[in-house]
Structure 1
Amino acid sequence: MAKVRVENFTITLDGYSTGLGQRMDAPFGDRMEGLHDWMFAAFEDRDAGRGGIDAEQVSRYPEGSGATIMGRNMFGPFRGPWEDESWTGWWGPNPPYHHDVFVHTHHLRPDLSMEGGTTFHFTDEPVEKVLDRALTAADGKDVVIGGGATTVQQYLRAGLIDVLHVVVVPILAGAGERLLDNVTDALGNYKVASTITSPRATHVEIVRR
């Protein structure tokens, strides 16, 4: 049965997924340097055949996934109405998704088809409706909630996430957006299933009870 998953969602030791001042030259905001160093090193280890905890964990995302959901802030650094439609995401002409991606936004624009099979769909529909569309597009495969924190929180509050894989790295942001804010009631429906630690990060798997 298809699941709704959050994979490799990286936060600081004090719980932030983004800091203050997100912008083009600081996509995750201030004091967030090194947030994903564990991931880049893991890809290098995996591609070189070295393996390891992080390499195993970073490979979870594409396995079995058929659609992705994200928020406007993950798609790009811009807020408010689109000045134009020239921005096509952080990932270049061939994004790594290779399937349908649904972008929550109050400012709609036409679907955007990219190389490699990725199509971005911009929607202001409720999370339940967007998930239905994503499950249909995934055609029996899992749906991944990519982020950011606000988007993950919406799906947690609606009780729609089955597995939440959080990666905690040893840096401190001090301010910004915390992953697990505003979900107090929802967390009663979840439990920590496992933790595993590498020299670079701690991986926590949270699942529905």
Structure 2
Amino acid sequence: MSKLVVKSFSISIDGFGAGPLQSLENPLGMGGMDLHKWVFDTKSFKSMHGDGTGGAEGIDNDFVTKGFENLGAWILGRNMFGPIRGPWLDEEWKGWWGPNPPYHVPVFVLTHHPRPSIVMEGGTVFHFVTDGIESALVHAKQAAGGKDIRLGGGVSTIKQYLKKRLIDEIHLAQSPVLLGSGENLFSDVNWGELGYQLESHVSSLLTNHLVIKKIDL
């Protein structure tokens, strides 16, 4: 049975998942790239985004690897797909990742503005969902074929699914960075009342890995 999961989602000490002033040149906002330093030198990241050689093993690499296991679909908020706002006036934009994105499965992008699906190299197909988060989850479950669905973010999208108790498991990587502003994952959400609890935590040199699961109320 498919689960909706959040994997390897980096946040700052003060709870921000991205910095302010996102742009084409700065997709994670001011200071946002520092949240992800724990990922960049791992063997898994270099295999996916580099020449496939080198990279560190260990705790951080294990979490990156687990984040791509048993996935049949993804869900992304529109900001995770690109910096364009409003109607899709420029349909040449096909995401941050080039012709072969790292997903390799169907990806459902939340938006208020319709756009035809985009077939990319490597098995990634972007579908644009205009009728809400629950509809996107239904489509993702159908596409996943019993495998899990990874919710890629951003913060606003994760919080929408959280408040409806639709997320089964969340892995947060809390990096030793203070952003001070941006989108805060912890504001306006009572995780305990919603039935989420910390299952485990382990630290590496670069981040603190927190695994949170939904429990029965």
With the shorter chain as reference, the TM-score category is over 0.9
The Cα shift of 1:99 comes to 0.7
The offset of 1:107, in angstroms, is 1.3
Aligned pairs, number = 209
| SS of equivalent to 1:200 | coil
Q: Return the alpha-carbon distance in structure 1 between the equivalents of residues 152 and 160 of structure 2.
A: 12
- Report percent identity of matched pairs: 45
Given candidates 138, 158, 171, the residue that maps to 2:164 is 158
**Could you list the per-position Cα deviations for residues 41-84 of structure 1 after superposition, in whole angstroms to 9, with x for gaps in the alignment?**
12368863752100101111210000000000000011112222
Distance apart, 1:147 and its partner CA: 0.5
Q: CA deviation at 1:127?
A: 1.7
CA distance in 1, matches of 2:150, 2:89: 29
Cα distance in 1 between the residues matched to 2:82 and 2:22: 10
| Alignment correspondent of 1:146 | 152
TM-score, structure 1 as length reference: 0.94
Structure 2 counterpart of 1:59, one-letter code: T
Question: Is 1:134 aligned to residue 140 of structure 2?
Answer: yes
Counterpart of 1:19 in structure 2: which amino acid?
A: G
Asked if the contact 1:104–1:124 (Cα under 8 Å) also holds between the matched residues in 2, the reply is yes
Distance 1:7 1:174 in 2: 23
1:9 is matched with which residue? 9
Query: Could you tell me whether the CA contact under 8 Å between 1:157 and 1:186 is conserved in 2?
Result: no
Distance 1:111 1:9, change over 3 A: same
Which of 106, 125, 135 is matched with 1:100 structurally?
Answer: 106
Distance 1:29 1:187 in 2: 31
Match of 1:125 among 131, 134, 159: 131
The amino acid across from 2:190 in the alignment is T
TM-score normalized by the length of structure 2: 0.91
Shift of the 49–92 alpha-carbon distance from structure 1 to 2, 3 Å rule, reads closer
Displacement of 1:18 in angstroms is 1.1
Instruction: Tell me the equivalent position of 1:40.
Output: 40
| C-alpha RMSD of the superposition | 1.7
Gap runs ≥5 in structure 2: 48-52
Unaligned runs of 5+ in 1: none
CA distance, structure 2, for counterparts of residue 109 and residue 128 of structure 1: 19
**Structure 1 Cα separation of the partners of residues 119 and 209 of structure 2:** 33
Against the structure 1 CA distance between its residues 18 and 187, is the aligned structure 2 distance closer, same or farther, given a 3 Å change threshold? farther
Instruction: Confirm or deny: 8 A CA contact 1:97 1:118 kept in the other structure.
Output: yes
Are the aligned partners of 2:82 and 2:96 in contact in 1 as well (CA < 8 Å)?
Answer: yes
> Which of 173, 182, 189 is 2:179 aligned to?
173
Describe the SS at the equivalent of 1:58. helix
**2:50 alignment counterpart:** none
Contact kept? 1:149, 1:178, Cα under 8 Å? yes
CA distance in 1, matches of 2:161, 2:209: 21
